Amino acid sequence: MTLTKNKMVRDIGRRTRLKNHDVAEMLEALVEVWTEELVAGGRIELENFIVLETWTIDRGENAGTLKGGDAPRTIRRVMMRVSKKLKADLNQIINYD
C-alpha cells in the first residue's frame, strides 16, 4: 500500500477534525520548510522516526564524465536513516515461521 498526499490529508483530517484544506496547506508548508533546510545543508530529525540530512560527497579527481562534459567532483545527496525505535518496531513485526 502506498500512502499518498491525498490519503494523508484525509487520515490526518479525520484524526484531528481539521478541514482537509487546512491539513493540505500544513503539509505543503512542511515540505517547503524541510526542502529549504536540506538545501541549506541542514538536518531534520523526527524523534523516534527518521533523520534526514544532506551529505556532500567528494568523488575525487576521477569523477567520470557525463554527456556534454565532465561530471562534478562533488555532489550533494539527501541521506535518510531510521531511528533505533522504528528499527526495533519493524523487527518485531517479522514472523520467522
Q: Following DSSP, what letter does each residue of 37-96 receive, concatenated?
A: HHHTT-EEEETTTEEEEEEEEE--S---EETTEEPPSEEEEEEEEE-HHHHHHHHHH---
Please indicate, yes or no, if residue 65 is contained in any of the structural domains: no
Given a cut of 70, the residues of the chain with pLDDT beneath it are: 94-97
Please indicate, yes or no, if residue 51 is contained in any of the structural domains: yes
Structure confidence at residue 74 (pLDDT): 87
Structure confidence at residue 41 (pLDDT): 93
Tell me, yes or no, whether 52 and 32 share the same domain. Answer: no
Tell me, yes or no, whether 33 and 49 share the same domain. Answer: no
Structure confidence at residue 64 (pLDDT): 78
- Report which residue type is found at 22: D
Please indicate, yes or no, if residue 54 is contained in any of the structural domains: yes
CA distance linking residue 6 with residue 23, whole number of Å: 10
CA distance linking residue 21 with residue 31, whole number of Å: 16
Please indicate, yes or no, if residue 80 is contained in any of the structural domains: yes
